Amino acid sequence: MLACGSFLAAVAIPVSAAVGLTLDPLLRKSGTSADSSPGGNPAAELASGFLPIIRFDELPEDGTPVKSVVRIDVRDAWQVFPDQPVGTIYLRRFPDRTVVVFSDICPHLGCKVDYEADQSRFFCPCHSSAFALDGQAMNKVSPRPLDQLEARIDPAGMVWVKYQEFRTGIPEKVVV
């Protein structure tokens, strides 16, 4: 009888340790950090999808679009891959201290849109979709304007953007 109890103890300890190690990443709370946020709660801003992108003062005063890479810490159950690029966006600064942000994904078929400074427009080289600086379609190729993203400027001057991607090829702006 004693041998059976010893056997169970010898098996139960490593099995419970293996279960704990396996479940630990799934049960662990994901923590994020940032210096500042519009609401004063960086973790809440990040959880709501807002990411710090660029300081407002770094954007040109004349409203020229600036392309910026959106980076996040990508986490799977066991590892964190810090500062990974997940997309790119265009930001425009305005005199009233507002910023407009557009996705660089063409709403037509999902190709990357470029800013053509010489023509003051956004242009998709895949099927010649063209967009004015306000994001409105300049021809009938795209089913909708460029997708505008929510943006906030915190008291410290950091621009936070709610980065999202949208379904392409349809007139409605539907989050993927």
In this structure, what CATH number is given to the domain that contains residue 91?
Answer: 2.102.10.10
Do 86 and 163 touch, CB atoms closer than 8 A?
Answer: yes
pLDDT tens profile 81-137: 999 999 999 999 999 999 999 999 999 999 999 999 999 999 999 999 999 999 999
Tell me: do 83 and 149 sit in the same domain: yes
The overall pTM is greater than 0.85: no
Separate counts of helices (H) and strands (E) for the chain: 2, 10
Structural domain boundaries enclosing 4: 1-29
User: Number of folded domains in the chain?
Assistant: 2
* 107 part of a folded domain: yes
> Cα 153 from chain centroid?
16
**Range scoring the smallest mean pLDDT among 37-41, 61-65, 88-92, 168-172:** 37-41
78 and 5 within one domain: no
Instruction: Looking at the structure, tell me whether residues 17 and 38 fall in a common domain.
Output: no
The reply to whether 7 and 60 lie within a common domain is no
Does residue 42 sit within a domain? Answer: yes
Q: Is 90 inside a domain boundary? A: yes
Whether 119 maps to a domain, the answer reads: yes
% of the chain at pLDDT higher than 70: 73
Residue 167 covered by a domain: no
Q: Is residue 175 part of a domain?
A: no
Same domain for 9 and 74, yes or no, is no
Does residue 149 sit in the same domain as residue 65? yes
Q: Are 92 and 119 part of one and the same domain?
A: yes
Co-location of 24 and 94 in the same domain: no
Per-residue pLDDT, averaged over 32-55, amounts to: 62
pLDDT for position 27? 54
Q: Which of 10-24, 40-54, 100-114, 141-155 has the lowest mean pLDDT?
A: 10-24
Quote the mean pLDDT of the chain.
Answer: 85
Q: Looking at the structure, do residues 101 and 141 belong to the same domain, yes or no?
A: yes
Q: Taking a C-beta distance cutoff of 8 angstroms, is the pair 107, 168 a contact?
A: yes
